[in-house]
Structure 1
Amino acid sequence: MHTEKVTNHIVNWLKEYAQKAGMDGFVVGVSGGIDSAVTSTLCAMTGLRTLCVTMPIHQAKSQVTRGDEHIAQLKKRFLNVTNVEVNLTPTFESFKSQVPFTADDTFLDLSLANTRARLRMTTLYYFAGLHRYLVAGTGNKVEDFGVGFYTKYGDGGVDLSPIADLMKSEVYAIGAHIEVQDSILKAAPTDGLFGDSRTDEDQIGASYDELEWAMQMVDVGKNIDDFTGRKKEVFDIYTRLNRANQHKMNPIPVCEIPSNLRK
């Protein structure tokens, strides 16, 4: 990958899209992870107003610190960057107090994790509407089009996706090029939605490097019988998640009415 050229291409694409849409800038949810750090920096590089929003919900201190450090250095580098913190913990707890559930609900933890993401999406669109900004997505290609590792109408609810055609390794390469801080470049990827220390790899069962490999194998027509051992296990994880999460990747199905029923 020609890192500098790809970086410039994304920055130009962002700027042209916003100008054609008649919008004044971007809003980005900053988590302390590589994807949001790269996305917010690319938005800042357009010269258009860029609002970085942190939205802690029982967040690990290390994630909050990394996010704050990233925003601080971004504001030093770019005069068009502003930030705001919205503590969503009370909102999340209030929501939990109003909905019925039992402690042994099988999908309770996952449902609450997705609720966190959707509260954040709502918050980002509040600021987007307030300032005429576009909500910039932070999903990469492996997450968005490979295993569907995101929340539908949560972090998947965005106006445009500047890094969704980049593999995770390519996001890291651009991150290093645009001077994202080492603490983020070296941190284990995590969505931070469960209020504990679990990483993306813990949840998925495979690393991003492994998932990239599996995605490439599918693209060249390989199937699970072509592999053994760990490669077979990773290929199975990738293809299983890809099938299960097609509802996130495909357009919302519309029940089309046959013309003969309209007569």
Structure 2
Amino acid sequence: MKGLMLSKDELVKCENAIEEAIVKIVEMSKTNGAIVALSGGIDSSLVATLATRVVDVYGLILPDPSTSDPGDVRDAEDLANSLGIDYEVIDIGGILKAIYAARPKLGPRECKIAYANVKPRVRMVMNYFAANLDGRVVLGTGNKTELLMGYFTKYGDGGVDMLPIGDLYKTRVWQMARHVGVPEKIIKKPPSAGLWKGQTDEEEMGIRYELLDKVLYGVFDLGLTYEEVEKATGVDDATFTRIMERVRDNEHKRNMPPIVDIEAVLRSCHS
């Protein structure tokens, strides 16, 4: 779709804008730098690569041995070493087991998503523990496609101080990653949140990023109607409806919790 793919000049401008924003949040928060959780995947690798250029970055690699791919851990370590940043690997398996044991009535077979969501929430706690100890901000690794689709865990990987690539569709993340020199073996990996063995983003969402990004870009950036999106992308009605329903149903993830307007209630008492 025209406009979704970025030109060389646009990539440079986006790159500079992201780096400037990272510097700004570190300066505004009067902190010493940033924490980036490194998964061995493209999103965290891109954020770490951009952030390392402008602020001091500390990497956390937080595997769960029961589901994490050892290759991803190695890739995360290799990236940290190539960027020259300090990092540590912390096994969160024991923490997860302790949490799971607290509610033994229902297991992962009955409540697969509930169990899976514990993992990113534990990682969020570890990120902020390290950030508070070292006086740093936490940089998130979510992209625009994930945010619109709600493909993240509330108060898990969504619990961060800033989302440097939060306005880049996954298609553009791939472009930007190649532009800034993220290793090709990381770029070519099937995107995965690592929530369970063999899990991939596209399989869980039921659609390939290539088509999904075109639909989302057409609707939210170009303001196209369904008929125009269908003509431009070939998406069928059922898929389009499913995408839009998911965007709508996950609106709560993109907003702060609602607050009851007590002042309005009090004003009404005197009207």
Length-normalised TM-score, structure 1: 0.90
Aligned to 1:78: none
Residue pair 2:36, 2:48 contacting (<8 A) in 1 also: yes
Instruction: Provide the C-alpha distance between the structure 1 equivalents of 2:39 and 2:107, rounded to a whole number of angstroms.
Output: 28
Instruction: Provide the C-alpha distance between the structure 2 equivalents of 1:70 and 1:206, rounded to a whole number of angstroms.
Output: 29
Instruction: Provide the C-alpha distance between the structure 1 equivalents of 2:42 and 2:208, rounded to a whole number of angstroms.
Output: 15
> What does 1:1-263 align with in structure 2 at a 5 Å threshold?
1=6, 2-46=10-54, 48-57=55-64, 58=66, 59-75=68-84, 81-103=85-107, 106=110, 108-144=111-147, 146-194=148-196, 196-219=197-220, 220-223=223-226, 227=230, 230-257=235-262, 258-260=265-267
Question: What residue identity is the alignment partner of 1:11?
Answer: E
Question: What residue identity is the alignment partner of 2:119?
Answer: R
Instruction: Provide the C-alpha distance between the structure 1 equivalents of 2:238 and 2:80, rounded to a whole number of angstroms.
Output: 39
Q: For 2:198, what is the secondary structure of its paired residue? A: coil
Change (3 A) 1:212 1:44: same
Aligned length: 254
Question: What residue identity is the alignment partner of 1:182?
Answer: E
**Structure 2, unpaired ranges of 5+:** 1-5
Per the TM alignment, residue 197 of structure 1 is displaced from its structure 2 partner at its CA by 0.7
Change (3 A) 1:33 1:105: closer
Instruction: Provide the C-alpha distance between the structure 1 equivalents of 2:194 and 2:113, rounded to a whole number of angstroms.
Output: 12
1:140-177 CA distance string (max 9 Å, x none): 01111x20100000000000111101111111111111
Per the TM alignment, residue 213 of structure 1 is displaced from its structure 2 partner at its CA by 1.2
Question: What residue identity is the alignment partner of 2:211?
Answer: E
Per the TM alignment, residue 236 of structure 1 is displaced from its structure 2 partner at its CA by 2.2
Residue pair 1:33, 1:187 contacting (<8 A) in 2 also: yes
Residue pair 1:143, 1:149 contacting (<8 A) in 2 also: yes
Question: What residue identity is the alignment partner of 1:91?
Answer: I
Question: What residue identity is the alignment partner of 1:122?
Answer: V
**Aligned residues: percent identity?**
28
Instruction: Provide the C-alpha distance between the structure 2 equivalents of 1:99 and 1:87, rounded to a whole number of angstroms.
Output: 21
Per the TM alignment, residue 191 of structure 1 is displaced from its structure 2 partner at its CA by 0.2
Change (3 A) 1:225 1:104: farther
Length-normalised TM-score, structure 2: 0.88
